Amino acid sequence: MTDSASMSVTLRLPAQVFYEGAALKLTARAENGAFGILPDHIDFATALLPSVLMLTAPDGEELVFGIDEGIMVKRDRQVDICVRRAARGTTLSSLKTIVRKKFVDLDDKERTARSALSRLEADMVRRFMELREPHQ
């Protein structure tokens, strides 16, 4: 972090750091509503809802992220955000398209995987039941 009037923001996914950089301002949405924080905001932690996360970079650029549910912790001038999924757009309209494609496609893949797992579990239970039946 080069600017003493900024905070360091890290956006993490389960398997990688999605974004890391300085920000002058952050806005997000929690269960009790939308909120904004500045570098000297009081320390706190909150659960985030699927929503838009916006950061204002030190150069004034607005960074726009679509995020899934997660947790945000602000301590001193460090903000750590951990979410299941995230997407970055250049504008809100571009973000909408990116999120729809990325999240909906992933949901379809997860649904297919869950279905296959359920079939495997059912087959395994059936085979165990066959093993328990007495042979004549």
pLDDT tens figures, 68-114: 899 999 999 999 999 988 888 877 767 667 666 676 666 666 777 77
Q: Which domain holds residue 40?
A: 7-91
CATH code, 43:
2.60.15.10
CA distances from 88 to 11, 63, 64, 98 (A): 11, 8, 6, 8
* pTM, to two decimals: 0.69
Report residue 88: phi and psi, to 5°: -115, 135
Q: What is the 3-state secondary structure (H, E, C) of 85-107?
A: CEEEECCHHHHHHHHHHHHHHHH
What's the structural domain count of the chain?
A: 1
Q: Are 91 and 65 in contact (CB under 8 A)?
A: no
Looking at the domain assignment, is residue 128 inside a domain? Answer: no
Of all residues in the chain, what percent carry a pLDDT higher than 70? 82
Structure confidence at residue 107 (pLDDT): 64
Q: How confident is residue 57, by pLDDT bands cut at 50, 70 and 90?
A: very high
Quick one: tokens of 36?
A: 């904004």
Looking at the domain assignment, is residue 41 inside a domain? Answer: yes
